[in-house]
Amino acid sequence: MLDLKFIRAEPDAVRAAAAKKRIPCDVDRILELDVEVRARGQRFDELRAEQKATGKAMGKASPQERERIIAQQTELKAELKVLEDEVAALKAELQGHLDRVPNIPADDVPDGVDDSDNVEIKRVGEPTSFAFEPRDHVTLAEGQGWLDTIAGARIAGSRNYILKGDLSLLEGAVMRFALEHMVERGFTPLSVPTLVRTEVMYGTGYFPGGEDQAYRCDERDDLCLVGTAEVPVTALHAEEILPLDQLPRRYVALSSCYRREAGAAGRDTRGLYRVHQFQKVEQVVIDIADAQRSIEHHQAILQNAEAVMIALGLPYRVVNVCGGDLGQPQVQKFDIETWMPSREGYGETHSASRFHDFQARRLMLRYRDGEGKVHFCHTLNNTVAASTRMLIALLENCQLADGRIAVPEPLRPYLRGRAVLGQPL
């Protein structure tokens, strides 16, 4: 959410942002409603002041005066009720608009419509070359008896899967490696709820707009399954005013992630690329409202993830996500895309976002500066490792000619020292 005062002062910046992000936004209506709400709000405040002042005289009034006052107050009350309802309706409409106003993208966010317009800014490693015909991750995993998508679908529907044996262990190894990698870098590990109140989905900017992508409980419980630990972790300090000396906060959390993938029917149906449930290690930074500091954090969390990829020897590139592919809340987003031989291309494995105070404003996540003034924090987050897409990259890039998998050195301690997994196929 943007500051209404900012929208009032810089309506053209908001219009430009909406255009760049291809998100509809009726700035004129917002400004109209803003004027109306304030005008009627002022009138309401005046009447209310009158009501209170008169009411206070009541206690000391004589019986005759009381009758007169009550008559006067009854009239006021009716007028106030009408005004109050009007203001409430206007505010609700205004809030409905504000909930959908996009955050302002950074100047160096490229113009573009969709992910095909994202701009590559860095490439590390070369696409893996093989002296043999490489297998895709499904062929490898099924060949080794490590993957059962038929049973997954029978149990939980399409886009669900069962990892077995060493692939299940490899998943654990990657997650554990990623988690410890971040703990070493000073991030505080958290175990968090993945079933959260709907208001938390709203606070982090997933709602309104992302309802189709999230699983919700039925009306008995006002809860949703999160698509990422970003949601509960960013909301950890909601409604708080953090002391300056406790910032920045750096958190890392391993969690299950749930995605409905509505609208993706028919896309990436084979294998583990697009699934309803996976595990992910996520990093979140909360700090003061300073654009430059946020940029530094953004670079830092990007590097934290890149270090994982480099340690695992996986070829990847970094893209600067274009306006049309950016979500409503982000100021800027850098995706890491990892080489996936079966796709003969790079596939998104990480997403590093910075939000300025967009999430913090909704979450009422604030801090007190050196002068005692209260501000909304800045928030950022990035993937460290997402299980299924990481497994695709590992299986396909680290496969040997005989269908076994060479384990990157950093993962071996989590696999009892084994350097190779599987049997010759």
Partner RNA sequence: GGAGAGGUGGCAGAGUGGCCGAAUGCGCCUGAUUGCUAAUCAGGUGAGUCGUAAAUACGCGGCUCCGAGGGUUCAAAUCCCUCCCUCUCCGCCA
How far is it, in rounded angstroms, from Cα 45 to Cα 333? 43
Selected from 11, 22, 32, 44, the binder of RNA by CB under 7 A is 44
Selecting among 259, 354, 361, 366, the annotated active-site residue is 259
Selected from 92, 151, 241, 291, the binder of RNA by CB under 7 A is 241
Beta bridge partners of 250: 285
> Can residue 114 be called a binding residue for RNA (CB under 7 A)?
no
The CA-based dihedral angle spanning residues 425, 168, 348, 360, taken in that order and rounded to the nearest 10 degrees = 180
Query: Around Cβ 355, how many Cβ atoms within 10 Å?
Result: 25
How far is it, in rounded angstroms, from Cα 359 to Cα 238? 10
Output 8 or 412, the one with its CB closest to RNA: 8
Token match 């490696």: residue?
A: 177
Output 39 or 262, the one with its CB closest to RNA: 39
- Three-class DSSP category at 385: strand
User: Do the beta carbons of residue 148 and residue 161 sit within 8 Å?
Assistant: yes
Query: Around Cβ 83, how many Cβ atoms within 10 Å?
Result: 18
User: Do the beta carbons of residue 330 and residue 357 sit within 8 Å?
Assistant: no
Output 85 or 296, the one with its CB closest to RNA: 85
Pick from 283, 278, 257: nearest CA to 189: 283
> Can residue 41 be called a binding residue for RNA (CB under 7 A)?
yes
Active-site residue 294, yes or no? no
- Identify whether 315 is preceded by a cis peptide bond (ω within 30 of 0): no
What are 309's two structure tokens? Answer: 């990829």
> Can residue 77 be called a binding residue for RNA (CB under 7 A)?
yes
The CA-based dihedral angle spanning residues 232, 237, 238, 242, taken in that order and rounded to the nearest 10 degrees = -160
User: Do the beta carbons of residue 314 and residue 386 sit within 8 Å?
Assistant: no
Output 44 or 215, the one with its CB closest to RNA: 44
Active-site residue 68, yes or no? no
> Can residue 290 be called a binding residue for RNA (CB under 7 A)?
no
> Can residue 191 be called a binding residue for RNA (CB under 7 A)?
no
Q: Smallest distance from the beta carbon of 148 to RNA, in angstroms?
A: 24
Pick from 232, 22, 220, 41: nearest CA to 112: 22
Q: Smallest distance from the beta carbon of 69 to RNA, in angstroms?
A: 6
Judge whether 84 is annotated as a binding position: no
β-bridge pairing 195-197 and 420-421: unpaired
Q: Which stretch binds RNA (CB under 7 A): 51-59, 140-148, 345-353, 396-404?
A: 51-59
> Can residue 67 be called a binding residue for RNA (CB under 7 A)?
no
How far is it, in rounded angstroms, from Cα 234 to Cα 357? 12
Pick from 318, 323, 313: nearest CA to 111: 323
How far is it, in rounded angstroms, from Cα 295 to Cα 366? 19
Judge whether 200 is annotated as a binding position: no
Q: Which stretch binds RNA (CB under 7 A): 71-79, 210-218, 268-276, 313-321?
A: 71-79
Judge whether 176 is annotated as a binding position: no
> Can residue 59 be called a binding residue for RNA (CB under 7 A)?
yes
Selecting among 171, 306, 337, 348, the annotated active-site residue is 348
Selected from 29, 55, 269, 296, the binder of RNA by CB under 7 A is 55
Q: Which stretch binds RNA (CB under 7 A): 69-77, 104-112, 143-151, 331-339?
A: 69-77
Selecting among 294, 342, 351, 387, the annotated active-site residue is 351
Token match 């029978």: residue?
A: 154
Selected from 374, 416, 417, 424, the binder of RNA by CB under 7 A is 374
Output 63 or 417, the one with its CB closest to RNA: 63
- Three-class DSSP category at 382: strand
> Can residue 291 be called a binding residue for RNA (CB under 7 A)?
no
Active-site residue 259, yes or no? yes
Selected from 4, 30, 179, 322, the binder of RNA by CB under 7 A is 4
Q: Smallest distance from the beta carbon of 141 to RNA, in angstroms?
A: 29
- Three-class DSSP category at 256: strand
Output 91 or 123, the one with its CB closest to RNA: 91
Q: How many whole angstroms from its chain centre is CA 379? A: 10
List, as residue ranges, the binding site for L-serine. Answer: 228, 259, 282, 381
Catalytic site residues?
A: 259, 274, 348, 351, 389
Give me the residues that bind RNA (CB under 7 A), please.
4-5, 38, 41-42, 44-46, 48-49, 51-53, 55-56, 58-59, 69-70, 73-74, 76-77, 241, 366, 372, 374
List, as residue ranges, the binding site for ATP. Answer: 259-261, 275-278, 348-351
